[in-house]
């Protein structure tokens, strides 16, 4: 017994040692402290530099002072960048702190282990040792845990459920909500029943003094029940999901064409929105044509792109079918509007589509929620890098008239600079003379 106890103690301290070492890794500490220290230093020196700059050039104009100050500040920034390479002394202090903390934890665990082993040894010597005592204790703890767990489930559903739930504001959203509710009801029922059985049985059938175990190596009836029932339930859920998804994504071709087309381009870490101009057609895009002046990579050889409009936000008319063309410039992002029950990946090299009809305007939603600052929002739902949190756009649902009014105020992608650039390029290639003339007429 003492040998086993000793072993258990060793494995516990080994586990604690591993955790302690993980948290004591100096790289964690070094990142924190160095970054914080250099920013502070940069700020302080930058302020100093601005002050000395002003004193030295007393008689000079304010403009000169500003130049001097900014020059000083930029040199101190370079110094700060150099400092970053050195290891801050705080790192060593942190490391020693973690090592000491770890040793303290080890000592506490060792003391507790020894106290328990002494207690058990004394019980054995006094012949009061009951090897089943801890069994009943453990089983009772599990039984108590059952009530804590069920209470937690109830609290979570009643408290957080209401916070997570808001009626969908699109036509297809209602279908997704029905599916979500059915899945939640079935899985919650299974969760509660299995936990009641699992934790009650561990209490009722715990090891007792004269208890005998019934050896049941195999039972075909039980095997059949626990294979067929979940298989049927899962098949129903999967098929239900499959048909719902098909009904949302398989839009007839004529409805695809009659919808308002909008393109959304995701990149690290921003979204760009492109509306078709008066022609209702979004021009082609070719990633090879991406330049500093044409960051979107629009192919201006396609005349459909000449009137394409840049949307500052996503603004869409209510009760009108909208077809989103979702593309990515670099890596996978995800186009997600929670209130609309819309989510689809933006994948580089291919276009994904999501067509839907919004049914509630932003104004109506604000009144419904009694929150006059509320806005629908489109978020990137794929963790795509350090600026992921910042990848969002406001979505505004308005009346058709308001939509047209807004669209008229937005800028075109084919700016005057781009038109000149395009015309100059075309002048070099005479076979494209035609388009030059049209470009000139656009000006």
Q: Which of 356, 343, 362, 355 is nearest to 403 (CA)?
A: 362
**Rounded least distance, CB 172 to Cu ion, Å:** 24
Of residues 69 and 384, the one with the C-beta less far from Cu ion: 384
Minimum CB–partner distance for residue 335 and Cu ion (Å): 9
Which C-beta is closer to Cu ion: that of 333 or that of 393? 333
Smallest distance, Å, CB 266 to Cu ion? 6
Q: Which is nearer to Cu ion, 80 or 380 (CB)?
A: 380
Q: How far apart are CA 98 and CA 104, in angstroms?
A: 10
Q: In angstroms, what is the minimal distance from the CB of 267 to Cu ion?
A: 8
Q: Which is nearer to Cu ion, 394 or 433 (CB)?
A: 394
In the bound state with Cu ion, the residue whose beta carbon lies nearer, of 306 and 335, is 335
Span interacting with Cu ion, options 14-22, 316-324, 372-380, 421-429, rule CB under 5 A:
372-380
Q: Which 374-393 residues touch Cu ion, going by CB under 5 A?
A: 380, 384, 391
Of residues 189-208, those binding Cu ion (CB under 5 A):
none
Q: How far is the CB of 102 from Cu ion (least distance, A)?
A: 39
Q: Is 323 in the site for Cu ion (CB under 5 A)?
A: no
Nearest approach, Cβ of residue 384 and Cu ion (Å): 3
| Beta pairing partners, 354 | 324
Tokens of 261: 């087309």
Query: CB of residue 164 vs Cu ion: minimum separation in angstroms?
Result: 22
Of 333 and 341, the one with the shorter C-beta distance to Cu ion is 333
Report in angstroms how near the CB of residue 173 gets to Cu ion at its nearest. 23
Q: How many CA atoms lie less than 13 Å away from 179 in the CB half-sphere?
A: 19
Q: How many residues bind Cu ion (CB under 5 A)?
A: 4
Closer Cβ to Cu ion, 318 or 391, answer by number? 391
- Among 37-45, 91-99, 328-336, 413-421, the segment contacting Cu ion (CB under 5 A): 328-336
For the CB of residue 268, give the shortest distance to Cu ion in the complex, in Å: 7
Looking at the Cβ atoms of 263 and 426, the one nearer to Cu ion is 263
Minimum CB distance to Cu ion smaller for 259 or for 326:
326
Q: Does 333 sit near Cu ion (CB under 5 A)?
A: yes
Could you count the other beta carbons within 10 Å of the beta carbon of residue 351? 13
Question: By C-beta, is 380 or 398 nearer to Cu ion?
Answer: 380
Considering beta carbons, is residue 172 or 333 the nearer one to Cu ion?
Answer: 333
Distance of CA 380 to the CA centre of its chain: 7
Q: Report, in Å, the least distance between residue 23 CB and Cu ion.
A: 31
In three state form, how does the secondary structure of the chain look? CHHHHHHHHHHHHHHHHHHHHHHHCHHHHHHHHHHHHHHHHHHHHHHHHHHHHHHHCCCCCHHHHHHHHHHHHHHHHHHHHHHCCCCCHHHHHHHHHHHHHHHHHHHHHHHHHHHHHHHHHHHHHCCCCCCCHHHHHHHHHHHHHHHHHHHHHHHHHHHHHHHHCCCCCECCHHHHHHHHHHHHHHHHHHHHHHHHHHHHHHHHCCCCCCCCCCCCCCCHHHHHHHHHHHHHHHHHHHHHHHHHHHHHHCCCHHHHHHCEEEEEEEECCEEEEEECCCCCCCCCECHHHCCCCCCCCECCCCHHHCCCEEECCEEEECCCCEEEEEEECCCCEEEEEHHHCEEEEECECCCEEEEECECCCHHHHHHHHCCCCCCEEEEECCCCCCCHHHCEEEEEEECHHHHHHHHHCCCECCCHHHHHHHHHHHHHCHHHHHHHHHHHHHC
Q: Is 298 in the site for Cu ion (CB under 5 A)?
A: no
CB of 381 to Cu ion, least distance (A): 8
The footprint of Cu ion (CB under 5 A) covers 333, 380, 384, 391
């Amino acid at each position: 017994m003492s040998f086993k106890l000793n072993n258990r103690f060793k494995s516990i301290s080994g586990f604690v040692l591993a955790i302690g070492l993980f948290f004591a890794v100096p790289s964690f500490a070094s990142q924190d402290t160095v970054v914080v220290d250099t920013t502070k230093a940069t700020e302080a020196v930058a302020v100093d530099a601005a002050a000395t700059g002003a004193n030295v050039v007393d008689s000079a104009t304010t403009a000169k002072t500003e130049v001097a100050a900014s020059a000083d500040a930029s040199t101190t920034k370079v110094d700060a960048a150099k400092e970053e390479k050195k290891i801050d002394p705080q790192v060593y202090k942190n490391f020693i702190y973690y090592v000491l903390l770890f040793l303290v934890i080890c000592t506490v665990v060792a003391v507790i282990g020894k106290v328990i082993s002494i207690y058990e040894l004394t019980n054995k010597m006094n012949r009061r040792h009951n090897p089943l005592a801890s069994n009943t204790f453990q089983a009772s703890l599990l039984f108590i845990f059952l009530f804590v767990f069920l209470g937690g489930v109830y609290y979570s559903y009643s408290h957080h459920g209401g916070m997570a739930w808001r009626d969908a504001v699109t036509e297809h959203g209602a279908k997704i909500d029905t599916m979500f509710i059915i899945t939640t009801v079935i899985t919650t029922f299974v969760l509660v029943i299995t936990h009641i059985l699992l934790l009650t049985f561990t209490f009722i059938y715990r090891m007792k003094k004269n208890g005998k175990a019934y050896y049941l190596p195999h039972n075909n009836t039980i095997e059949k029940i626990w294979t067929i029932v979940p298989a049927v339930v899962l098949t129903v859920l999967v098929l239900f999901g499959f048909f719902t998804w098909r009904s949302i994504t398989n839009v007839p071709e004529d409805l695809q064409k009659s919808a308002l087309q909008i393109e959304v381009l995701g990149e690290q870490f921003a979204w760009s929105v492109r509306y078709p101009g008066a022609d209702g057609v979004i021009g082609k895009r070719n990633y090879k044509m991406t330049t500093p002046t044409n960051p979107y990579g629009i192919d201006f050889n396609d005349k459909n792109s000449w009137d394409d409009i840049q949307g500052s936000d996503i603004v869409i008319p209510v009760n009108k079918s909208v077809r989103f063309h979702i593309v990515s410039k670099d890596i996978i992002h995800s186009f997600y509007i929670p209130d609309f029950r819309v989510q689809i990946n933006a994948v580089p090299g291919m276009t994904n589509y999501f067509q839907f009809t919004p049914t509630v305007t932003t104004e109506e939603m604000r009144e419904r929620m009694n929150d006059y600052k509320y806005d629908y929002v489109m978020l990137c739902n794929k963790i795509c890098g350090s600026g992921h949190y910042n990848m969002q756009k406001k979505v505004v649902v308005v009346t058709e008239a308001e939509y047209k009014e807004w669209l008229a105020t937005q800028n075109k992608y084919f700016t005057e600079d781009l038109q000149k650039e395009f015309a100059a390029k075309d002048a070099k290639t005479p076979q494209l003379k035609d388009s030059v003339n049209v470009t000139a007429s656009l000006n």
